[in-house]
Amino acid sequence: MSYVKVMIHAVWGTKRNQALIAKDIRPTLLAHIVENARQKGIFIDTINSQPEHVHCLFGLNADMALSKALNLIKGESSFWMNKQKLISHKFEWADDYFAASVSESQLEKVRQYIVTQDEHHRKVGFAEEYNKFLVSYGYNIQG
C-alpha cells in the first residue's frame, strides 16, 4: 500500500474574472464542490471563495495528477452551476489556475489565509493577489 500526503493550495477564477459567485450562492457552490470532490476521491481540507475566484486546500492522492484533480473539480462544478441555473447567464471557470504544494508546517497558515478571504480582499484585489502568488513562486509574469 502506498502512503501519500501531498497538500495543494489551488486558486482559480471565473472566466474573464467576472464576479459571478454571489454571497447567497457561495455556500451552495462550495458545498457542492466539496461533495463532488469527495465522490471522486479528492479530499478538500479548506475551501472559500470570493465573487470571482476560489481558494482550495486539498489532498492530492497517489493515483491522480494535479491537472486531472482540478479539471474534475472545475469542470463538474461549472456544469452543475449551469444545470442548477443559480445565476442568470452561463457560468465558466477560466482555463488557468495557480497551484502549489503546502508543507505540513504551513498547513494551518494556509487554512487561515483561505478562511479569511473576505478580510484579505478588502485590501487586495484578485489580480494583485494572483500576481503576487506567481512572483513569490518565481514565475516571470511580465510575459
pLDDT per residue over 25-57, tens digit each? Answer: 999 999 999 999 999 999 999 999 999 999 999
pLDDT per residue over 105-126, tens digit each? Answer: 999 999 999 999 988 888 888 8
Give residue 141's pLDDT: 66
H or E stretch including 56? strand 53-60
How far, in Å, CA of 43 to CA of 37, rounded? 7
User: What is the pairing mode between strands 43-50 and 6-14?
Assistant: unpaired
143 pLDDT above the threshold of 60: no
Give residue 2's pLDDT: 79
How far, in Å, CA of 143 to CA of 141, rounded? 5
The torsion angle over the Cα atoms of residues 92, 99, 28 and 81, rounded to 10 degrees, is: 20
Domains and CATH numbers, the chain: 6-136 (3.30.70.1290)
